[in-house]
């Protein structure tokens, strides 16, 4: 009766199972509306989260890649302009530079502390159009080497992050500005011996963190609005803290010695090898 080889029991069990065919053939039951809506909302929220993450990737990495290409083009454009001008001759005085039109490249910035090959083309103007391509020269402030304040704004994070590590500049660090025919070496103010930013003889701090409305930091004499220029200064402004625009990080530097003519020193001053 229960001989497994006959399979009698198995047959009987299968007979008791309800037939599956008709149910499988019928259309699947529709989900209730609330479930469709809840699923749609969940998918939307997950998608929104992914888009925000992608935006962070864009800001921190993709803008760097795009900026790298733009800097390359600007560098080419600037060097073409320089090559088109008269070749520098040894012994001739360095001609003062004329402020170019907004959006035009103006000089090349070298900051050895931020990397031996750190090199950024500065553009005229500080609107986002310019700043997305490189550090921007505040319109109307001094030109390289001139009496007054050569003020430059640059992004901290993204867009090539030119001033990402501007807070690591210490007193005495060189900031070299290269123009068509000369090198200008500026040095961060403060006491190079102690690293104290605030004890420079000029009274101007080498580094400060200010509110975004503090325009006196780019005055001809940094920190003293309305005073006539007494020296050749350079000021960098960027946002602070990183990833925020709550404050501004400011670095002040002063021209160190006479400009070095490219005719005399085509490879640049020894300050480029510091840091």
Partner 1 sequence: MYGWIWRHLPGGTASRAALALVLVLAVVALLLFVVFPWVEPRLPFNDVTVDQ
Using CB under 8 A, list all residues that contact partner 1. 39-40, 43-44, 51, 54-55, 58-59, 62, 126, 128, 131, 136, 138, 153-156, 158, 163, 210, 212-215, 217-218, 237-239, 243-245, 248, 250
Q: Which residues pair with 203 in a beta bridge?
A: none
| Distance, CA of 263 to CA of 198 (rounded, Å) | 37
Q: Which of 132, 73, 79 is nearest to 108 (CA)?
A: 79
Asked about 23 being catalytic, the answer comes back as no
Q: Nearest approach, Cβ of 137 to partner 1 (angstroms)?
A: 11
Catalytic residue among 156, 187, 239, 252: 239
In the complex, the smallest distance separating the C-beta of residue 275 from partner 1, rounded to whole angstroms, is 23
Q: Which residues pair with residue 109 across a beta bridge?
A: 120, 177
Return the residue matching tokens 């490249």. 105
- The CB-of-220 to partner 1 minimum distance in angstroms stands at 15
155 is annotated as an active-site residue: yes
Q: Is 248 designated active site?
A: yes
Identify which of 148, 77, 85, 131 has the alpha carbon closest to the alpha carbon of residue 107. Answer: 77
- By beta-carbon proximity to partner 1, the closer residue of 35 and 257 is 35
Give the H/E segment covering residue 12.
helix 8-16
Of 155, 156, 187, 252, the active-site residue reads: 155
Which residue, 124 or 181, has its beta carbon nearer to partner 1? 124
59 versus 196: smaller Cβ distance to partner 1: 59
| Shortest Cβ 232–partner 1 spacing (Å) | 20
Q: What is the DSSP letter of 215?
A: G
Q: Taking a C-beta distance cutoff of 8 angstroms, is the pair 111, 179 a contact? A: no
| Residues with Cβ within 8 Å of residue 8, at least 6 apart in sequence | 1, 2
Task: Give catalytic residue positions.
Answer: 155, 239, 248
């Amino acid at each position: 009766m229960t001989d497994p080889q006959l399979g009698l029991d198995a047959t009987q069990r299968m007979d008791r199972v309800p037939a599956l065919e008709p149910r499988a053939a019928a259309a699947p039951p529709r989900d209730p509306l609330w479930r469709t809506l809840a699923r749609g909302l969940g998918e939307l929220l997950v998608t929104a989260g992914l888009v925000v993450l992608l935006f962070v990737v864009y800001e921190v990495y993709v803008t760097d890649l795009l900026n790298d290409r733009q800097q390359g083009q600007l560098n080419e454009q600037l060097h073409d302009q320089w090559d088109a001008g008269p070749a520098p001759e040894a012994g001739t005085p360095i001609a003062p530079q004329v402020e170019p039109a907004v959006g035009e490249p103006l000089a090349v910035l070298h900051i050895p502390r931020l990397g031996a090959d750190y090199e950024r083309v500065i553009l005229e103007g500080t609107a986002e159009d310019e700043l997305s391509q490189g550090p921007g020269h505040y319109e109307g402030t001094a030109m390289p080497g001139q009496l007054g304040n050569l003020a430059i704004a640059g992004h901290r994070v993204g867009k090539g992050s030119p001033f990402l590590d501007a807070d690591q500049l210490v007193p005495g660090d060189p900031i070299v500005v290269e123009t068509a025919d000369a090198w200008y070496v500026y040095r961060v103010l403060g006491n190079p011996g102690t690293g104290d930013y605030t004890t420079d003889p000029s009274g101007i701090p080498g580094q400060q963190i200010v509110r975004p409305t503090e325009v006196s930091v780019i005055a001809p004499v940094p920190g003293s609005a309305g005073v006539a220029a007494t020296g050749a200064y350079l000021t960098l402004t960027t946002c602070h803290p990183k990833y925020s625009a709550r404050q501004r990080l400011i670095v002040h530097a002063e021209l160190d010695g006479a400009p070095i003519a490219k005719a005399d020193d085509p490879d640049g001053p020894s300050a480029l090898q510091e840091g």
